[in-house]
């Protein structure tokens, strides 16, 4: 079984890759559990450090280049996890780049899949940034998607394409609307939701951090562990269980910035903790205010997707996965 | 004031052109009533017969060709009504053509508008085909768009683009979700909703007609008169009145096929009436079953968009506008 992850050098792509390698198998379109022989990690730059596994193939390239994407989706590819994207603040800052990567890239990828002799299974990472404007604090399956960012528009378009290509039988696709994934390790990225990781990640590593939103700002949150499990679950669900539309809203629990800050103190142990200062940035605050504060989906629950039990689970998972690991 | 209508040779484009010529003026981005000096009708084939008015300029071309569209949206263009599209059954039958015209064409048009030295006002004809799947019989402002046709997906994408380009200040756009427009004159087209016109148009002109859906099938309907008024109203509304999302759902009253048939008899007068036979087509029925049966929008009402009072108004309007006109 040949599996491709776009955005494979990113945080989620890499976590997903590690988990797929650990499991070694995956249920795909055949309905059978198959062995993963080849795991292709595609990104614009190579993952560092590379994953040390003979099944892994690292490919660098441009997701918006149809010829490169056609080569990536070689005959025999059984699965694609499509995670590559320009993130929210990035797509807001560079309109053309956002449409090129997030729309043209997704469309080119779907066209490459369509050109295969037999359909493959595809999981697309969408986002709760597809909601915006006059939405309830708690977004549900029934909430209309009226995004207020270019990123949100592009992800909504991606879902529409995945659904339409699936309906036509060109692929067997499914889209997951991701809440804010926290705690992300590593450096801050350009996402307008970046503070929801920084606020815990930096202090727990002894670094001071400045948070660009008001302490009362709430975010719909999901942990890396839960989202990786969701990607794999989404891949393994039979098409019939998804019903008439291929998007699933993942459950994001509502956590205020100040409660994230409080959790840092609770989980400090004997760590030296960095200081949190609050300096609201009007643009970042406005983007955040337009997003859901919580997501709850009866459909996701029915399909077996699970959210976190609370902020403590999220912080504890981060400490175990990222801080308490031996240096590699 | 230079005004462009794409799809200008189509039924709605032509009706809109006639009404704009009759009025002679339009409120645009300046907020002032301006005189229409030039009305450009763009379509893939010339209108027949051409409109006899010195203000009219007929242009034929390919809406999906960026160079042609850039020439169409010449500097000085103040308004665009974007009606050009491959219709529902057409886009379902030819996947690539649908995406080329309905997605690439719309995007290229928006890019041409964005390239102008100053923004213009744009009205985009979207559709209630953007709804589908598990929707209530009566669709409202809150209903999520989960289309079940390629046409519906493409129109939803068009709305997202119009909204995003407007939010960024590249254009001042607004999208109208059109119910089924009935009664359309002329020949049947490839729309899966075509029967909702044929069922009245053909019998009232003495022709027999075969209807591809069950007599109980309901459709959300709006008359040509009302939709032309809505296009102009949408163009003249100040941007501030539209709020945070640029799409408006137009009111479509719920009429069953059998009630349309009954209205034909009521309005027969001394006409010789054609016979209606019922031969359900599985594909057409399936597409129709996925669409809204009625649309009602508090937002549209607040913005002054009006629906029809009933089927009699719709049939009477058709008779006055299309059958009782002197031959030209």
H/E stretch holding B105: helix B105-114
Residues 6+ apart with CB under 8 A from B167: A148, B246
Query: For the CA atoms of chain B, what is the radius of gyration?
Result: 19
At residue B327 the predicted structure's pLDDT band, cuts being 50, 70 and 90, is low
> pLDDT in tens for each of the 328 residues of chain A?
999 999 999 999 999 999 999 999 999 999 999 999 999 999 999 878 889 999 999 999 999 999 999 999 999 999 999 999 998 889 999 999 999 999 999 999 999 999 999 999 999 999 999 999 888 989 999 999 999 999 999 999 999 999 999 999 999 999 999 999 999 998 877 778 899 999 999 999 999 999 999 999 999 999 999 999 999 999 999 999 999 899 999 999 999 999 999 999 999 999 999 999 999 999 899 888 888 999 999 999 999 999 999 999 999 999 999 998 766 5
Q: Confirm if B319 and B204 have CB atoms less than 8 A apart.
A: yes
Pick from A160, A289, A298 the residue to mutate for testing the B interface (most B CBs within 10 Å): A160
A101: DSSP letter: I
Give the integer Cα–Cα distance in Å for B327 and A244: 48
> Which residues of A fall within a CB distance of 8 Å from B158?
none
Give the SS3 label for residue A150: helix
Answer yes or no: is pLDDT of B189 > 90: no
The ipTM (two decimal places) reads 0.94
State mean pLDDT over B87-95.
91
Report the number of distinct structural domains present in chain A: 1
Distance from CA of A85 to the nearest CA of B (A): 18
- Residues of A with catalytic function: 151
Task: State whether residue A167 sits within 8 Å of chain B by CB.
Answer: yes
For A93, the closest chain B residue by CA position comes to: B168
- Residue B142: exposure state from Cβ atoms within 10 A (0-12, 13-18, ≥19): middle
Chain B residues closer than 8 Å to A161 by CB: 153
Positive or negative torsion for Cα A274, A276, A282, A288: positive
Q: Is residue A326 part of a domain?
A: no
Is B191 part of any domain? yes
How many of the other CB atoms lie within 10 Å of CB of B47?
Answer: 17
Q: Is residue B115 part of a domain?
A: yes
- Contact residues on chain A for B140, CB-CB shorter than 8 A: none
Cβ-defined contact of B163 to A146 (cutoff 8 Å): yes
Q: What global pTM score does this model have?
A: 0.95
Alpha helices, H only, A168-238: 195-204, 224-236
Q: Where are the alpha helices (DSSP H) in chain A?
A: 11-23, 66-72, 88-93, 95-98, 105-114, 150-167, 195-204, 224-236, 257-266, 282-289, 298-302, 311-318
What are B173's strand-pairing partners?
A: B122
Average pLDDT, chain B: 95
Q: Looking at the predicted structure, is the pLDDT value of residue B44 above 60? A: yes
Please list every residue in chain A whose beta carbon sits closer than 8 Å to the beta carbon of residue B167.
148
CA distance B261 to B249: 27
A98 vs A154: CA distance, rounded Å? 8
**SS3 call for A77:** strand
B175: domain CATH number? 3.40.50.720
pLDDT confidence of residue A325: 76
Full residue range of the structural domain in which residue A147 is found: 2-182+222-251+294-309
In a domain, B154, yes or no: yes
Domain-located, residue B218: yes
Domain annotation covers residue B148? yes
CB contact under 8 Å between A245 and B156, yes or no, is no
Nearest to B144 among A144, A164, A168 (CB): A144
A134–chain B Cβ distance below 8 A for any pair: yes
CB contact under 8 A, B134 and A163: no
> Is A268 inside a domain boundary?
no
Q: Give the closest-approach CA distance of A147 to chain B in angstroms.
A: 8
- Answer whether residue B165 is part of any domain: yes
The pLDDT, as a whole number, for residue B324 is 85
Distance CA A53, CA A8 (A): 14
């Amino acid at each position: 079984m040949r599996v491709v992850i776009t955005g494979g050098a990113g945080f989620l792509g890499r976590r997903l890759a590690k988990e797929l390698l650990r499991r070694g198998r995956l249920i795909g379109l055949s309905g059978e559990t198959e062995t993963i022989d080849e795991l292709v990690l595609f990104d614009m730059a190579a993952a560092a450090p590379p994953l040390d596994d003979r099944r892994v193939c690292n490919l660098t390239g441009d997701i918006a280049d149809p010829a490169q994407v056609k080569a990536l989706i070689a005959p025999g590819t059984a699965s694609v996890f499509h995670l590559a994207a320009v993130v929210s603040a990035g797509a807001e800052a560079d309109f053309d780049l956002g449409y090129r990567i997030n729309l043209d890239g997704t469309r080119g990828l779907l066209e490459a899949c369509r050109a295969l002799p037999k359909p493959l299974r595809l999981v697309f990472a969408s986002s709760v940034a597809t909601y915006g404007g006059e939405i309830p604090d708690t977004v549900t399956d029934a909430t209309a998607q009226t995004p207020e960012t270019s990123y949100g528009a592009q992800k909504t378009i991606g879902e529409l394409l995945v659904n339409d290509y699936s309906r036509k039988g060109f692929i067997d696709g499914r889209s997951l609307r991701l809440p804010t994934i926290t705690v992300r390790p590593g450096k801050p990225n350009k996402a307008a939701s970046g503070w929801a990781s920084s606020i815990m990640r930096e202090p727990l590593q002894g670094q001071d951090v400045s948070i660009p939103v008001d302490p009362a700002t709430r975010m719909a949150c999901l942990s890396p562990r839960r989202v990786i499990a969701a990607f794999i679950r989404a891949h393994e669900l039979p098409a019939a269980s998804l019903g008439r539309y291929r998007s699933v809203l993942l459950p994001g629990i509502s956590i205020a910035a100040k409660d994230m800050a409080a959790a840092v103190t609770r989980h400090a142990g004997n760590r030296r903790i960095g200081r949190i200062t609050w300096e609201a940035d009007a643009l970042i605050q406005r983007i955040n205010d337009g997003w859901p504060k919580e997501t709850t989906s009866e459909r996701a629950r029915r399909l077996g997707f699970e959210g976190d039990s609370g902020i403590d689970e999220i912080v504890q998972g981060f400490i175990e996965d990222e801080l308490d690991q031996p240096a590699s």
